[in-house]
Amino acid sequence: MENINILVICTGNSCRSQIAEGYLRYFSKQLKINTNVYSAGIRAEGINKKAIEIMSQDGIDISNHTSNTLEEYTNTEISHVITVCDHANESCPVYLKKVNLTHKNFTDPSKVIGNEFEIQNAFEKCREEIKSFTLSFLEKV
């Protein structure tokens, strides 16, 4: 069985795409699916510390991930693209739209304004939505 090469795209490759990359890698191992999982942004804004924190609470370490731009993957053969925000979906280069494209907009928890409790809840909600989505995605490929 050949590898499935998945590229997750978000605006800044700092939060939602990083969480999705973490879960796709984790669930791929659990389901014994051969994947290479990458993530990129329209811009590379660095990894959000709260994304690292929220994933570690679920036993997944994304602290060694890097924040990348789409240009870094122009020579990588991608079979599946997942856009995790509307901006990334609209900005996705045409050549990537020719592969298996899946779009699901997740609310950006890093944009939530509120107290620490409200921000934590936003990150937890986003994590759980992405967790469910990525498992479902991999069960269908």
3-state secondary structure 34-92: CEEEEEEECCCCCCCHHHHHHHHCCCCCCCCCCCCEHHHHCCCCCCEEEECCHHHHHHC
Dist CA 31 CA 39 (whole Å): 20
Residue among 9, 78, 85, 96 flagged as catalytic: 85
Residue type, 49: K
- Residues 6+ positions from 53 with CB-CB distance below 8 Å: 123
Residue among 15, 70, 88, 92 flagged as catalytic: 92
Q: Is 85 a catalytic residue?
A: yes
The catalytic site residues sit at 10, 85, 92
